[in-house]
Structure 1
């Protein structure tokens, strides 16, 4: 889209460099007053150096300064300043280069009696002239940075939308699988049992055959329902078997594969119920995901603990070591964990630490069922 709006960006770089060198040479030829071999050589060197401005922006600018000092030229110095400003992020360096350009253009050559008033006027004019390409170059640099940042944010949003859609689909498939397993399969099983009983008790041959047919169809339907439930619970994965629910035994693998420098400490008694184990696992999973997403480079500590009749887990991370993108989020992760904790008569606490990190702490009864 941007390239369509700015057609000149499609021009090859060698063509642009050739045009700029030609324009700078014409400018030097028309405004040259020092036709000595030294003056001509400095002007030619400054104009030819523009062909290498992309690789050596600061060096090319320094080569154009003698031209600005000995001749009344402007194109070569301004082009070199623009290229340097477009590629450099050192504001102090750019300020020094602007001042150097103004000094070179306002200093009389050869050095003779100096008119201080006119020199000051030319210096101020030179500052304003040199500042223009620098500001324009910084503007283009900021535009590129903004476009790159927007592309990163849009990519992150697309990724999150895809994850959210997958989560919604998995939740709906799991809900449908539960309904089919708990309701439909139960009813079909009753039909098969009743048909079997009727087949045994039937005295009429036609009734016995009908009962046998009903029972056979019911068994076939049950097999198909089990296959459908298996596929639904797989949630689009490659496995065709039912995915087992995570337990505390899976925590170490979760921590090691989290993509974060994390350490797991502590142990819990074997008496922890299955719902409590799932809650502890999901809490660690969500906390480590948030660390990886919102605190790049941070370290995390996962601590399992028991306090009387309660068990829990605390996930604490250090401050981020790198700046993070302001990524969009559903803000439902911690809400879901609190709801899960409430169902188990527990509590979930989450908030920043005094050191600049973040802590998530889940407490649930040992007998949570």
Structure 2
């Protein structure tokens, strides 16, 4: 890949140099210097597209060299959505290519200049349109990848919510049915232990009662675990310590503030992590160009996280989404006796607020 890049750069510089040499009107030092400058700065077009385009225009004005400004304008169009900037650059490209060179002694008719200007505008439209098509394709590919990641994430959240509901139902059945029946066995065994007709019967009743009490303790422990344990995943569970890495790798301008270590349990930490993950994913998908603020907070017996993003910097593409992410987060919060609120802000942004009890 590195050699391919070197060959492409060398080919573009060679084509620009050949174009400048072929269309050179005079041997004036300033003309030669500007032609060489327009070719030399081409490798910097990806880092400084506007500056490189500006440096290639003098060669087009003095010597009718079009390859260097054509390439620079194309790269600029792949990096910017500002139509005013692209329009101004296209007009400058057309004027530089149509204006008579000061080193050309031959007089040019105004009608010929108008024709050259029309051709120049048509030529300038080509790199602008090609660059915008490449930029649109790049953005679409990125959005499609984000949607696929979001769908997979929502599928996992839905599976986790279903598993949590099944666990809650199982815990209720064990508490309401099994524990009740074992409690009756323990009561009856206690009564038989007191009023048994012979020592052997009383000893057997005592053993049954002891086993029943132990079974009740184990059932209570299992019910507590089933109710407290959140959805499980095959991968290591994220915690609040992973939030900084999540925010840094979100692909948007985001900042993490607030209480660094909230006193919440492992299920609560997972819920907060997933809330931040889903909120930042929605910012990338629905608010391109926006920045986000992630705040961890604690207020009395409650703690949680608030994710707020600014209005989008550019229109979002109308791409489909499953729409189950916030639903899954709401279910996760309910399982922990918490709340989840989401909605637009007054300035056109969006806010997601999760609150969880500390006990």
TM interval, short-chain normalised? 0.5 to 0.7
Indicate the structure (1 or 2) with the bigger Cα radius of gyration. Answer: 1
Which range moved further: 87-96 or 204-213? 204-213
2:97 to 89, 95, 105: 105
Q: 1:205 offset after TM fit, Å? A: 4.2
Determine if the alignment matches structure 1 residue 162 to structure 2 residue 151.
no
When normalised by structure 1's length, the TM-score is: 0.60
Which residue does 1:39 correspond to in 2? Answer: 31
Q: Given that residues 77 and 101 in structure 1 are in contact (C-alpha distance below 8 angstroms), is that contact kept between their aligned partners in structure 2?
A: yes
Q: 1:26 offset after TM fit, Å? A: 2.5
Which residue does 2:239 correspond to in 1? Answer: none
Determine the C-alpha separation between the residues in 2 that align with 1:352 and 1:77: 44
Which structure has the higher relative contact order (CA within 8 Å, separation 6+)? 2
Determine the C-alpha separation between the residues in 1 that align with 2:344 and 2:14: 61
Which residue does 1:19 correspond to in 2? Answer: 11
Give the CA RMSD over aligned residues.
4.2
Determine the C-alpha separation between the residues in 2 that align with 1:234 and 1:224: 15
Q: 1:156 to 1:104 in 2, by over 3 A?
A: same
Q: 1:13 offset after TM fit, Å? A: 5.3
Determine the C-alpha separation between the residues in 1 that align with 2:326 and 2:131: 43
Q: 1:21 offset after TM fit, Å? A: 1.7
Q: 1:50 offset after TM fit, Å? A: 0.9
Which residue does 1:282 correspond to in 2? Answer: none
Q: 1:321 offset after TM fit, Å? A: 5.3
1:143 to 137, 140, 150: 137
Which residue does 2:211 correspond to in 1? Answer: 217
1:54 to 46, 50, 65: 46
Which residue does 2:83 correspond to in 1? Answer: 91
Q: Given that residues 50 and 60 in structure 1 are in contact (C-alpha distance below 8 angstroms), is that contact kept between their aligned partners in structure 2?
A: yes
Q: Residues 157-183 of structure 1: CA distance to partner in whole angstroms, max 9, x if unpaired? A: 444433333332222212211111111
Q: 1:114 to 1:145 in 2, by over 3 A?
A: same
Which residue does 1:74 correspond to in 2? Answer: 66
2:229 to 229, 235, 250: 235
Determine the C-alpha separation between the residues in 2 that align with 1:332 and 1:321: 19
When normalised by structure 2's length, the TM-score is: 0.62
Determine the C-alpha separation between the residues in 1 that align with 2:132 and 2:227: 54
Which range moved further: 43-52 or 180-189? 43-52
Which range moved further: 29-38 or 73-82? 29-38
Q: 1:84 to 1:353 in 2, by over 3 A?
A: closer
Determine the C-alpha separation between the residues in 2 that align with 1:353 and 1:132: 41
Q: 1:352 offset after TM fit, Å? A: 10
Paired residue total? 270
Which residue does 1:181 correspond to in 2? Answer: 175
Q: Given that residues 34 and 70 in structure 1 are in contact (C-alpha distance below 8 angstroms), is that contact kept between their aligned partners in structure 2?
A: no
Which residue does 2:127 correspond to in 1? Answer: 133
Q: 1:68 offset after TM fit, Å? A: 1.3
